[in-house]
Amino acid sequence: MVPRGFRALVQAVAAVLCVFAAPTFAQAVNTGHVEVELAPLTATVQPGAVTYVALREKIAPGWHTYWRNAGDAGLPPDLKWTLPAGWKAGDTVWPLPQRLRQAQLMTYGYEGQVFLPVAITVPASATNGDRAALSAHLDILVCKDVCIPESADLKLALPVSTGKPEPAPLWGADVARVIAQAPKPAPFTASVNFTKGAIVLAAAGGPLKGVDANGAYFFPNDASSVLMPARQAVERGPDGLTLTLQPSPSLAKAGALSVPLAGVLATKSGAWEIVAKPNAAPPPGASGLGLVLAADEAPKTAGGIGGLFIALGFALLGGLVLNLMPCVFPVLSIKAAALASRAHAPKEARRDGLFFLGGTLSAFLVLAIAVVAGKAAGQALGWGFQLQSPKVTAVLTLLTLAVALNLSGVFEAGLSLQGVGSDLQRKPGAAGAFFTGVLAVVVGAPCTAPFMASALGYALTTGAVATFAVFIALGVGLALPFVALSFSPALLRKMPKPGPWMDTLRKLLAFPMYATAAFMAWVFAQQSGGPAMGLLMGAAVTFALCLYLYGLHQHRQGEGGRATASLVAAVVSLIGALTLAGFAAASDSAPAGAVAEGGPASLHAEAYSAQRLADLRAQGRPVFVNFTAAWCVSCKVNEQVAFSSRDTAKAFADTNAAYLVGDWTRPDPEITKALAAEGRTGVPLYLVYGADGSAPKVLPQVLTPGVVVRALKAAAGTG
């Protein structure tokens, strides 16, 4: 009989040996919004066998990552392996993704915890008892309201053993479950045809016999053929299903499907990988019964009260966030100071708040009327379209300059000028409040706040009623903080009483308005060129002289002196300023096909045209298209952040990618058409076309160098 003490010693030694035989798990890495690690299927691996090592993602609540086809936006995880000699990484096993809809966009991805197993081939030469060091670099895009690229370096040591592998103790069962439940190659036939403007996908046989059509859905492997946000109609047959899908804009334009349609057909009974060949006869028994709409799909863009309410919600949020954007902030700072002057006069404060709301809504209604009229005339107008006119930017340059000079004390707005709202500080009356609301909308056009793109996309692709409703919701969102403040006596009482500090604040607030005037002048220069800019600067100086002389007239009049000469000189200067501004706005000296500043000088930019894009794609080159405008502040921020790094320039050079800039600073029907083809109504829009001729990848509206670099590498097939 074995002594009890000796038996305990043997068990302890065995336990220690088991610990050393098990795989060494590196500490899970937290990238910021997702915890990641390498999770093996088995505790040991056999020489010459195929095993699986999964990327485990534990995603923060409310955030998501992406499937192999991210959908209308996003990027799938990019895992670059470094393996011992002879070891090879194979295909990724992708679990069935979730459909993640935001307004009119559809993306495919994962929330919570997900495992992405990767097949790993162990060489037959692997030695029993060795510990293979596996490592991988992960680049992953994690999204919520914004998308953030994150990365991690992961490591794992796998023991090699000739014995029978056992499941890994920590995550092995989870990895095995994912592999077992992942979509498998279809044991049935499938065909696809493009007819009457629709994609008809038919599949029949095997497990599809008697399958429930409710909830059936097709996940395409890429975005080149199927319009993913659209509903999928499903027809039951005795032996299978027929799905009617809407084509992508590129396929609708081509008018024919020339390549197989690959993806995952998911039903309540299971999911299968299918490759449907075009122009083939549909399998018998694929259709024959009634039409069923895919479950839990939102209404089409063109209809549905649910879609309208979603768009209104996004518009209200977009208007609220617009208050924080750099375009609107200078005007709203002035409004805040005006409310401070009425802090202890609640009746006047409420009146000013309502008139500010009225000015905001009036300006948005004018924009809505222009958009509806433009659509009726066959034109496509987007957010900020008014700034495409040099006349508008010239007027805004002088207007914001006048506001700045008024705040600096160069002149005081009398009753005549108060009628157009120039006295925004010392006489914050109803007209001044109304004008401030109008001005906030007008100067806010260069900025696009979060949530606005989805709401405007809905408004500009539906009827007039929806367009007016969305624009009104934007106006309410923009004005809401100040209306709420003006109707809150408790908050108003906490504001300091008027005093000498307000004059100092007033003069400080002039400088953001000077900056706004300079920005408007710069936009005008991009539209009209150097000579016209010289005329506008002359108009600005003359206009400033006019306002100074008018202020001098006011001062002499207050002292009882003769003020006629000053007033006459002011009128003459005003006429001169308006004449110069008119000549500047009427000139058209900007070179045709001028390329907006889309990045640093190291990036060779060409002007966008559909023909040039087609020529470059025919050459098999990746193409990066940047739709931008000089008045688009978001575009300029992206260009400074994402296009000015050495990594970006190197990626363009390494991938031989072409860089096209679509300058929408002035109206361009070809660019407007290109934006509409992607369901967009404004800029920025970033498209990356792959060297393989596939449909373009739409990048997020907020760019980083990493996002651009990864997109270029993926487009070149080197990522």
Helix (H, G, I), strand (E, B) or coil at 41: coil
Give the burial class of 157: count Cβ atoms within 10 A of its Cβ; 0-12 exposed, 13-18 middle, 19 or more buried: middle
Closest CA to 381 of 367, 364, 395, 396: 367
Radius of gyration of the chain (CA): 32
Q: Shortest CA distance to 543 belongs to which of 571, 562, 522?
A: 571
pLDDT band for position 584 (cuts 50, 70, 90): low
Do residues 31 and 150 touch, judged by C-beta distance below 8 A? yes
Strand (E) or helix (H) holding 416: helix 415-418
Q: Residue 14: what pLDDT?
A: 43
Could you tell me the pLDDT band of residue 416, with boundaries at 50, 70 and 90?
Answer: very low
What pLDDT was estimated at residue 458? 59
pLDDT of 637 higher than 90: no
Residue 577: phi and psi, rounded to 5, are -65, -45
With vertex at residue 156, the alpha carbon angle to CA 153 and CA 158, rounded to the nearest 5 degrees, is: 160
Per-residue pLDDT, 272: 93
- Whether the pLDDT of residue 12 is over 50: the answer is no
- 3-state SS, residue 215: coil
Give me the mean pLDDT over the 1-15 stretch: 48
Instruction: Flag the least confident range among 150-154, 331-335, 580-584, 667-671.
Output: 331-335
The pLDDT value given to residue 240: 86
pLDDT in tens, 242-293: 898 988 887 877 777 778 899 999 998 889 999 988 866 667 666 654 444 4
pLDDT tens profile 588-623: 444 434 444 444 445 788 999 988 998 898 888 999
Model pLDDT for residues 121-169, shown as the tens digit of each residue = 999 999 998 999 999 999 998 887 667 788 999 999 999 999 889 999 9
Provide mean pLDDT across the span 185-199: 86
Tokens at 129, concatenated: 């008892």
User: Is pTM beyond 0.85 here?
Assistant: no
**Mean pLDDT confidence for 662-675:** 80
**Cβ atoms 321, 449 nearer than 8 A:** yes
pLDDT higher at 432 or 46: 46
Tokens standing for residue 283: 């399998």
What percent of the chain shows pLDDT beyond 90? 23
Q: Using the 8-state DSSP alphabet, how is residue 160 labeled? A: B
Average pLDDT in the 632-654 region? Answer: 80
3-state secondary structure 562-611: CCHHHHHHHHHHHHHHHHHHHHHHHCCCCCCCCCCCCCCCCCCEEECCHH
**206-229 per-position pLDDT tens digit:** 888 878 888 899 999 988 889 888
- Look at 460-464, 574-578, 624-628, 645-649 and tell me which has the smallest mean pLDDT: 460-464
Say how far apart CA 537 and CA 520 lie, in whole Å.
Answer: 12
What percent of the chain is modeled with pLDDT above 70?
71
- pLDDT beyond 70 at 315: yes
pLDDT, one tens digit per residue, over 471-512 is 888 888 888 887 887 887 777 666 666 566 666 767 777 787
Other Cβ atoms less than 10 A from the Cβ of 394: the count is 28
Q: 649: Cβ–Cβ under 8 A, 6 or more apart, which residues?
A: 600, 602, 603
Contact yes or no for 147/72 (Cβ under 8 A): no
Average pLDDT over all residues of the chain: 77
Question: How many whole angstroms separate alpha carbon 707 and alpha carbon 151?
Answer: 12
* Residues sharing a CB contact under 8 Å with residue 32, sequence separation 6 or more, in sequence order: 142, 148, 150
Instruction: Please say if the pLDDT value at position 76 is more than 80.
Output: yes
* Helix-then-strand count for the chain, H and E: 20, 26
Q: What is the pLDDT of residues 455-473, one digit of tens each?
A: 665 565 556 777 788 888 8
